[in-house]
Amino acid sequence: MSAMGVFVRGLLMGAADIVPGVSGGTVAFITGIYDTLLSSIRAVDLHFARLLLQGDIRNAWEHVNGAFLLALLAGIGTSIFSLARIISWLLENHPVPLWAFFFGLILASALVLLRQVETWTAPRSLSLVVGMAIAVTIALAPVVNLDFGLPGVFLSGFLAICAMILPGISGSFILVLLGMYGTVLAALKSLDLGFILVFGVGAAAGLMCFSRLLHYLLHRFHEGTMALLTGFLFGSLLVVWPWKRVLVWVEGSHGQLKPAQQLPVSPIDFTVATGHDAQIALCVGLMLAGFMLVWFIDTRWGRAERARQPA
């Protein structure tokens, strides 16, 4: 895989991670690099630390597949810094069409993953249902409050990063559910180094633990794990459904109210509840555009990469 190909995948992952409800892990899956990503993260272990302490930088770099991680992180960073303002503006001014576009992305991604389960058995079907149930529960859950000092900060980082690499649910959405979204944004804005350090340590711990668990599951129970993750994606469609009615609000970093718990409704009910035009024709068109974009990405990169991977 070329460095440019990895960089482009990073661009797509970064664009997905910007928006609550959309996971960069989903993009990693449909572009065929998810297993490589988990393996590279999992390689940050005691052997890697030992190589660094010995000054063997070259072998340490090769041990973690450094070229892959560097190109991917460069793409993610470039995308986040270049698209953050655009996505934020669209979320603020045109949220319904934007969510419609992401609905199409997630739906197509779920169908791509569904094809990865070659043989359906009762346990795999149950895994699909369980994944859907978990995602639906998270999507409809009310806000909890983990704002109880540094232990809450650590746990928030741990859970958020787990969600970020898990297809279907984004880390920022988990922070909203935990009641920590505004707190984290405020800490980043004010450069609260103590808060950021504890949050970062929690995120690093979650990344190390969860990546190893997913890597193990994908190698020992590949079909069942794929069914579970596909269920996550189907269930998370409720998160990105464009027409919602807000049930619970939380305060953002600038004192503005942000939706924390929302109920999916029909376009007609959305218009009645909010007084805003449902923009049905535009939203359907954007759903189709998002769907076709994922299908193109899967055709262009995903199928070729998965075909080269060992069975």
pTM over 0.75: no
More confident residue, 214 or 55: 55
DSSP 8-state secondary structure symbol assigned to residue 300: I
Model confidence at 139: pLDDT above 80: no
Model confidence at 168: pLDDT above 70: no
* Residue 249 three-state SS: strand
Lowest mean pLDDT among 8-12, 162-166, 205-209, 243-247: 162-166
pLDDT-above-90 percentage for the chain: 14
More confident residue, 133 or 144: 133
Assign 302 a pLDDT band (cuts: 50, 70, 90). Answer: low
Name the burial class of residue 135, with classes exposed (0-12), middle (13-18) and buried (19+) by CB atoms within 10 angstroms of its CB: buried
Q: How many domains does the chain have?
A: 1
Which structural domain range is residue 199 located in? Answer: 3-308
d(CA 285, CA 40): 38
What is the pLDDT, as a whole number, of residue 311?
Answer: 43
Model confidence at 70: pLDDT above 60: yes
Q: Identify which of 141, 145, 165, 164 has the alpha carbon closest to the alpha carbon of residue 238.
A: 141
Pull the structure tokens for residue 124.
């795999």
Lowest mean pLDDT among 82-91, 100-109, 211-220: 82-91
d(CA 83, CA 280): 26
Assign 84 a pLDDT band (cuts: 50, 70, 90). Answer: low
DSSP 8-state secondary structure symbol assigned to residue 276: S
d(CA 283, CA 56): 54
Model confidence at 310: pLDDT above 50: no
What is the pLDDT, as a whole number, of residue 281?
Answer: 95
Sign of CA dihedral 161, 163, 167, 168: negative
Model confidence at 15: pLDDT above 80: no
d(CA 219, CA 207): 18
Structural contact between residues 250 and 261, judged by C-beta atoms closer than 8 angstroms:
no
What is the pLDDT, as a whole number, of residue 90?
Answer: 81
Structural contact between residues 211 and 165, judged by C-beta atoms closer than 8 angstroms:
yes
Assign 143 a pLDDT band (cuts: 50, 70, 90). Answer: low
